[in-house]
Amino acid sequence: MNLPEEIEVAAKQSYPVYLGAALEELGDYLQSLPDKIQHILVISHKKVSDLYLERLVKGLEDYRVDLLTVPEGEEEKSLERLSRLTTAALDCGADRKTLVIALGGGVIGDLAGFFASAFMRGIRFLQVPTTLLAQVDSSIGGKVAVNHPAGKNILGAFYPPLAVWTDFSTLNSLPWNEVENGLAESIKHALIDDEDLFAFFETQADSIRQRDPAIWREMVTRSTSIKIRIVSQDEREQGIRRLLNLGHTFGHALETEMNYRGVTHGQGVSIGIVAASYLANAKGSLTLTEVERIKQLLQRYDLPTSIQKQDPQTLLRRMQTDKKNQGGRKILVLPQGIGQAVVSEDCTDEEILAAWHKIIVENN
């Protein structure tokens, strides 16, 4: 087998991430595992399995493979879907030795991962991420979850996969609006940890937009490596891992206020990064020139840097219920120049309001 790049994620149970792997070669990898697998349960969307299951099962001829498809959409990350997966899994004879493969984006990864963590108190689980967001972000770090009417990702687990099997070629079929969700996270990674990668995004914008394979390979590899480096230092999000929330506290308030309509996750993060940048500027850790540089980069990728017709006070209230807050205090991540960031617990409501004002465009 043509070996892909392998990076180890340090965790309570560490696991390898194979970057540039081929779907067809997953079987060879499974053969090499000490504890043999007999039954495989692939969980996917119909669209994704139509595109890629055939390639994947080419390598899995030695195993009994079942496919369970889940309807599209964030709302399928639910306890109800978990319950149906349980019934379906038992119907096709899943047991403690079954391996769950998540073939899809972050929704499939989070749902299948939480299912695998809970089914018979935990069975083996492998990530095959097929969106840019899943490759550079959600497949790495062991977080899995479902949503609940009372909050996003409110029920879940830290459940490291057996491995992450990343085939870059699956990104070819990804619609551009989905690419943008991943780009927002990739640019965020660069901003908090890697000024060189930030510059790469600036200089390679045309090639990235044209999906140049060599440039994409480099972009995904470097961006994934940042996430691996960070979660390897802090699996449980008690320290440095919190930096990954840059842009998310603002973005999440916006997404919930707009009821997840009219703004994608990537757009929310993009606007959130800009708001956090203005706040960082007010706190003295970022120059206005740097704020402009960040905005220009996001705009280069058609990511929004402002929003219309929103009420800053309402958005501020939305931030109050963020599950990352502790004891009522708002915890925010602020860029510190390009390529570094800090967690701040001392932003006042006035300062946050001022940041919201900066990114809200008054309609005439």
Is 143 a known ligand-binding residue? yes
Smaller CB distance to ligand NAD: residue 178 or 194?
178
First-to-final CA distance of the chain? 61
Angle between helices 195-203 and 176-193 (to 10 degrees): 140
178 binds ligand NAD (CB under 6 A): yes
Is 75 a known ligand-binding residue? yes
Number of Cβ within 10 Å of residue 170's Cβ equals: 23
Dist CA 236 CA 299 (whole Å): 33
Catalytic: 6?
A: no
Dist CA 26 CA 53 (whole Å): 12
Give the bridge partners for 69, in sequence order: 44
Residues 91-150 contacting ligand NAD, CB under 6 A: 104-108, 110, 130-131, 133-134, 137-138, 141, 143
Q: Among the options 185, 255, 257, 290, which is catalytic?
A: 185
Question: 3-state class of 142 per DSSP?
Answer: coil
Catalytic: 265?
A: yes
Q: Least separation, in Å, of the C-beta of 145 and ligand NAD?
A: 7
Member of 45, 77, 124, 143 binding its own copies (CB under 8 A): 143
What, of its own copies, ligand NAD, none, does residue 181 touch, CB below 5 to 8 Å by kind? ligand NAD
What, of ligand NAD, its own copies, none, does residue 122 touch, CB below 5 to 8 Å by kind? its own copies
Q: Least separation, in Å, of the C-beta of 350 and ligand NAD?
A: 30
Size of the site for ligand NAD (CB under 6 A): 27
Smaller CB distance to ligand NAD: residue 118 or 291?
118
Angle between helices 265-282 and 349-359 (to 10 degrees): 120
What, of its own copies, ligand NAD, none, does residue 86 touch, CB below 5 to 8 Å by kind? its own copies
14 binds its own copies (CB under 8 A): no
Residues 75-114 contacting its own copies, CB under 8 A: 79, 82-83, 86-87, 90, 95-97
255 binds ligand NAD (CB under 6 A): no
Smaller CB distance to ligand NAD: residue 141 or 335?
141
CB 319 within 8 A of CB 355: no
Member of 7, 65, 155, 343 binding its own copies (CB under 8 A): 155
Dist CA 42 CA 97 (whole Å): 14
Question: Which of 145, 147, 87, 74 is closest to 111 using CA atoms?
Answer: 145
Smaller CB distance to its own copies: residue 194 or 235?
235
81 binds ligand NAD (CB under 6 A): no
Is 43 a known ligand-binding residue? no
Number of Cβ within 10 Å of residue 200's Cβ equals: 19
Take residue 311 and report the two structure tokens written for it: 């009420």
Catalytic: 8?
A: no
Question: Which of 280, 224, 274 is closest to 248 using CA atoms?
Answer: 274
Is 257 a known ligand-binding residue? no
CB 22 within 8 A of CB 167: yes
Q: Go through 307-332 and write b for each residue having 16 or more CB atoms within 10 A of its CB, e for each that does not.
A: beebebeebbebbeebebeeeeebbb
Member of 8, 50, 74, 80 binding ligand NAD (CB under 6 A): 74
Within 8 A by CB and 6+ apart from 48, the residues are 103, 104, 105, 108, 130
Task: Provide the CA 286 distance to its chain's centre, in angstroms.
Answer: 26
Angle between helices 288-300 and 195-203 (to 10 degrees): 50
Catalytic: 97?
A: no
Q: Least separation, in Å, of the C-beta of 124 and its own copies?
A: 13
47 binds its own copies (CB under 8 A): no
Q: Among the options 143, 222, 295, 330, which is catalytic?
A: 143
Residues at the site binding ligand NAD, with contacts judged by CB under 6 A: 45, 47-48, 51, 72, 74, 77, 104-108, 110, 130-131, 133-134, 137-138, 141, 143, 153, 170, 173-174, 178, 181
> Which residue positions form the known binding site for NAD(+)?
72-77, 106-110, 130-131, 143, 152
Q: Where does this chain bind its own copies (CB under 8 A)?
A: 12, 38, 79, 82-83, 86-87, 90, 95-97, 117-122, 143, 145, 148-151, 153-158, 323, 325-327
